[in-house]
Structure 1
């Protein structure tokens, strides 16, 4: 599936979005050739075309919300905000979802300028094109869990589209296996002068928790460093290393870049596992800039700044991650741990219901390590396992479910103590 991702198709989709002139959230919605309205109708038509090719396997629709006037300085009048959503329904766990998206809207230097040319080629036509290409590839297969492809709008004005999408997920009681926000996946030439196409970044963290939420177990056994978003980030890194050649993940343990934000944040705020996938080296001359040349420097987010082979690789990471999560079993629930003043550590969990469940993997790593280091497999039917001579004080622990093909769920960190 990763090998089926094609840079040429990603390039065509980015070119199509750039061709709408501007996709600013406050831009024209009636024209068929220019503005955010034309762009969202194009995206919906692309998803519908993909669905037609797979016999109607995608549920394609708009998610609409209306932002009241004065909600923020960036929304001066009552403004409809549309997400374009395509759902590929799972065969066994239809209410379990893994989601990939990017934001369709674009901007220039003045955030309120809705008429000037704003190509938004890398920020974020690249992420939306990645979601469309992932839909083309993954829609040819069936998966146990549901996959969602989405193009948000309202991101530059204040994450309005993704906030609405997260609210819908809460209202409809989605079991969210993971949210992959792809925002800028095509630039390899950084503002620092470095040119690099063999690394990428994964940002993960929920908002700092209320200290009153802390429990005895989280205080002693990990807390936010092992929350669902961090486990998803580790999962993405493993898929990249396994399935995508010459591409190394860099895990960034922040919600987003310093002082900045993205569409993963509303999902993380609501407790969903959510990460931002993006390039390693950003070029600020190409972000949020009027198109111009000053002192020999070209400013503006034009298609010339996108490396399509690199966007292909990052899309491949998403494809591998979503395929593995959607094909595999749900996470174990109610993981508990015990072993104080003992030479061994015991974990327990509730059994996972999945058609071809093979068993579980119990993971452990040093407390200073960022990635899981060791694992031990136990067969299906096991819901309690003791790691002999592994002292609980010296390690962090987790449990994942595994199917017969080897697909794993993300790891689940213990949330309670064994009685």
Structure 2
């Protein structure tokens, strides 16, 4: 794991005047993510355009195929758009370093580390836009999966992971009764595995919390995925 690489990605994304979904800079920000995933060794990196309420932007989707035929899909996702206090202000300076360049940087670094590692499951690294306007990018992605009869076995959503609280703890959030309650047991079991891994492999205190107000919410409701997330 390279602290320098993480810092560089955060700084490059935060250098955009804004990455607001309505800003013309959201496209170049998406291309920056594409270029970094491509440089990490992935040939299958695409931008997928969605439209909502007259606005369009792209999700960035990078696929690492699994080695096992018919293997389950794991989504590792974060949103790359940002905002200031007014969610409709697309012109104000908004570096969005914590919310959520840090999550995107983590995904890109994980992708780099896994690029040459054979894994049985297919991994999709996904960077969403439109999160700050109401999960627009992830809702479009989830609806596309649902329409195609596709899905995923696990979702790990990284949102605001770069600025931990004073005790340095990491919170693992899990489904505790959203509109698809059938997710709850599997989500809670997966969160327990993630919390155990954090305790086994890091010195970070671990907390458990409920999922809320980020891209995993819509993915759960539409595609019936097993969820957990790692916010700070």
Q: TM-score range by the shorter chain?
A: over 0.9
Alignment equivalent of 1:247, drawn from 179, 204, 223: 204
Higher relative contact order (CA 8 A, sep 6+): 2
Contact 1:207-1:268 within 8 A present in 2 as well: no
What is the 5 A alignment of 1:70-85?
Answer: 78-85=54-61
Q: Look up the match of 2:20.
A: 24
Contact 1:200-1:250 within 8 A present in 2 as well: yes
Q: Look up the match of 1:66.
A: 51
- Structure of larger gyration radius: 1
Whole-Å separation in 1 of the counterparts to 2:64 and 2:176: 27
Whole-Å separation in 2 of the counterparts to 1:44 and 1:248: 33
Change (3 A) 1:92 1:265: same
Change (3 A) 1:14 1:96: same
Over the residues paired in the alignment, what is the CA RMSD in angstroms? 1.9
Contact 1:206-1:269 within 8 A present in 2 as well: no
Deviation at 1:255, TM superposition (A): 2.6
Runs of 5+ consecutive residues of structure 1 not aligned to the other structure: 29-34, 52-56, 69-77, 211-222, 280-419
> Higher strand proportion, which one?
1
Q: Look up the match of 1:276.
A: 229
- Mapped pair 1:235 → 2:193: yes
Contact 1:207-1:269 within 8 A present in 2 as well: no
Whole-Å separation in 1 of the counterparts to 2:3 and 2:171: 20
> Higher helix proportion, which one?
2
What is the 5 A alignment of 1:362-401?
Answer: none
Contact 1:95-1:175 within 8 A present in 2 as well: no
Q: What TM-score, normalized to structure 2?
A: 0.92
Q: Look up the match of 2:137.
A: 161
Q: What TM-score, normalized to structure 1?
A: 0.52
Contact 1:207-1:255 within 8 A present in 2 as well: no
Contact 1:93-1:146 within 8 A present in 2 as well: no
Would you say how many aligned residue pairs link Structure 1 and Structure 2? 231
Runs of 5+ consecutive residues of structure 2 not aligned to the other structure: none
